[in-house]
Amino acid sequence: MSQFDYDLFVIGGGSGGVRAARVAAGEAGAKVALAEEDRYGGTCVIRGCVPKKLMVFASEYAGVVEDAASYGWDLKQGPFDWHSFQTRLNTELDRLEQVYRNLLKGSGVDTFDTRATVAGPHEVKLATGETKSAKHILIATGGHPVRPDTVNAQLGIVSDDIFHLESLPKSLLIVGGGYIACEFAGIMNGLGVEVTQYYRGAQILRGFDDEARGLVAESMRERGIDLRVGTNIVEMAPAGDDHTASWTGTASDAAMGADVKQRREMQTEAKDANGPIWVKSTNGGERVFDMVLFATGRDPNTKDMGLEEVGVKLGRRGQIEVDAYSQTAVPSIYAIGDVTDRVNLTPVAIREGMAFVETVFKGNPTPVDHDLIPSAIFTQPEMGTVGLSEEDARDQEPVEIYCTSFRPMQTAFAGRPDRVLMKLVVSKETRKVLGCHIVAPHAGEMIQLAGIAIKMGTTKEDFDRTVAVHPTMSEEIVTMRTPIRTA
């Protein structure tokens, strides 16, 4: 009989924690428990990837009527019904949460719907007052969005809040230049909200390929988003008698598509519960917005969990420090997912959970593989990327750059200015494709398949030998024969 209540106790019911728990129980035969203080599914299912992608889908219907007219269809444009969409969204999230609960139950995992903290190397304390012992403890508590250290920052919302809005604002300021900020800029713009985005850096999507992120920024502006780089908030306060600066439109209004203007005119004027917000920017401008969204970073959920008290080491931002096998400084305690701040992506957290089970419960020591991870940013248009950017690759070795940008058939026929980009970064010495970057509708679907080839070590000549699928956007990936530059 084991001296512990459980072989494994998982704290956190997100994608990584649930996968580790059910595989350890279902495949390895371990006795497993899991505690979750909020909703099962975590950030991805409840307040991240899934609802965000459904909002992306909703926002992309905005241009359908205009495009359809170019193809001979006579459709009617109507206003977006946020309440109808939100009801269906919440129903879907409830369904998915139940799926996660059923997966755990079907695998024989005991679940506790309460907060859990670490009380010792082998002890977990529940907020209900119980203490459970476990041979191994896995921390999978994820992260949370943070507000900047700005006076009156509480007036703004964060990404978690956006799914619960009672109504959509007429005007929205988004602060930040990462993928969350840029994705919600596209979403809200598509839903008829007047969107301004401030980013203090020189270009959005820092860390991604310069050429690719440049096209995304250009496309955002063409779609009517007032994107301002090198700009940040200096002050913000409730708009009142002392702060009466009114919204007077944006510099991009003149270039805005007719469909965007029409949607904004039809958008029912809504008021935020906190009222309009006066904002002063670093360039001296003053504006009043119905709402401000901070997308300025995320921190790991490690506060008041008792981790440092038992010897677990935390980084500067509170992230749990782990080795290649996700083991902390306390041998019996492991951590996976965003709480470790390694690669903050849901599929990575799931892979880390699987590697943990292989290592601890299946006797097969498996380090986590963080090399060549494909990813997608659901901006409009999407960006898909895998491997090195041109900038990172040329710092590493001599490379050749194969790149093309063009107007895709579907939107060109409809008279839209949209452009797409296909780019390969190739090693001069080995001829291996070091990076692939795509900016195009459905780039996420394309990069998944390209990621397989690049993970296998495919060379440029392998791409050249592959017959193109015509007519498609993605055929350009295998038809680029001559490098446009070397670096």
Each residue's pLDDT tens digit, 362-396 = 999 999 999 999 999 999 999 999 999 999 999 99
* Span between the terminal Cα atoms of the chain, in Å: 64
For 174-238, give the DSSP string. EE--SHHHHHHHHHHHHTT-EEEEEESSSSSSTTS-HHHHHHHHHHHHHTT-EEEES--EEEEEE
Three-class DSSP category at 141: coil
Rounded mean pLDDT, 16-35: 98
Q: Check if the beta carbon of residue 370 is closer than 8 Å to that of residue 342.
A: yes
Determine the pLDDT at residue 254.
33
Q: Identify whether 470 is a catalytic site residue.
A: yes
Confidence of residue 250 (pLDDT cuts 50, 70, 90): very low
Q: Which amino acid is at 17?
A: G
Which whole number is the average pLDDT over 146-157? 95
Would you put residue 36 in left (φ > 0), alpha (ψ -120 to 50) or beta? beta
* pLDDT tens-digit map of 195-212: 999 999 999 999 999 999
- The strand pair at 131-139 and 143-145 is best described as unpaired
pLDDT at 332: 98
CA gap 292, 286 in Å, rounded: 14
CB atoms near residue 445 (< 10 Å): 14
pLDDT in the model for residue 172: 98
* Alpha-carbon gap, residue 338 to 344, rounded angstroms: 5
Q: Report the candidate in 299, 168, 147, 171 with the shortest Cα–Cα distance to residue 233.
A: 147
Tracing tokens 């193809």 back to the chain, one arrives at: 71
pLDDT of residue 258: 37
Q: What is the pLDDT of residues 30-63, one digit of tens each?
A: 999 999 999 999 999 999 999 999 999 999 999 9
Question: Which domains can be identified in the chain, with CATH numbers?
Answer: 6-144+298-361 (3.50.50.60), 153-294 (3.50.50.60), 375-486 (3.30.390.30)
Alpha-carbon distance of 123 to 134, in angstroms, equals: 6
- What proportion of the chain, given as a percentage, has pLDDT over 70? 93
- C-alpha 337, offset from chain centre: 14
pTM: 0.92
Which pLDDT band, with edges at 50, 70 and 90, does 2 fall under?
confident
The answer to whether the CB of 444 falls within 8 A of the CB of 376 is: yes
pLDDT-based confidence at residue 235 (cuts at 50, 70, 90)? very high
Diameter over CA atoms, the chain: 75
pLDDT band per the 50, 70, 90 thresholds, residue 240: confident
Residue 241 has pLDDT above 60, yes or no: no
pLDDT of 457 reads: 98
Residue 247 Cα to chain centre, angstroms: 30
**Is 445's pLDDT higher than 90?**
yes
Cα Rg of the chain, angstroms: 24
pLDDT at position 253: 37
Beta strand pairing status for 6-11 and 131-139?
Answer: parallel
d(CA 126, CA 306): 12
pLDDT at 272 > cutoff 60 = no
3-state secondary structure of 122: coil
The pLDDT of 269-276, averaged and rounded, is 53
* Active-site residue, from 83, 136, 243, 470: 470
Per-residue confidence (pLDDT) for residue 275, from 0 to 100: 86
Is 64:40 a contact under the CB 8 Å cutoff?
no
Look-up: residue for tokens 């970057």? 437
Contacts with 483 (C-beta within 8 Å, 6 or more apart), sequence order = 400, 401, 402, 426
Exposure string for 28-62, b = 16+ CB within 10 A, e = fewer:
bebbbbbbbbbbbbbbbbbbbbbbbebbbebbeeb
Q: Classify 62 as helix, strand or coil.
A: helix
| Per-residue pLDDT band at 247 (split at 50, 70, 90) | very low
pLDDT digits (tens, 9 = 90+) for 280-316: 999 999 999 999 999 999 999 999 999 999 999 999 9
Report the share of the chain in percent with pLDDT over 90. 91
Coil, helix or strand for 17?
helix
Torsion of Cα atoms, 30 then 33 then 38 then 44, to 10° = 0
Task: Please report the pLDDT score of residue 1 as a whole number.
Answer: 53
Residues near 368 by beta carbon (within 8 Å), at least 6 away in sequence: 324, 325, 326, 342, 351, 352, 355
Which pLDDT score, from 0 to 100, does residue 270 have? 33
Q: Is 50 exceeded by the pLDDT of residue 273?
A: no
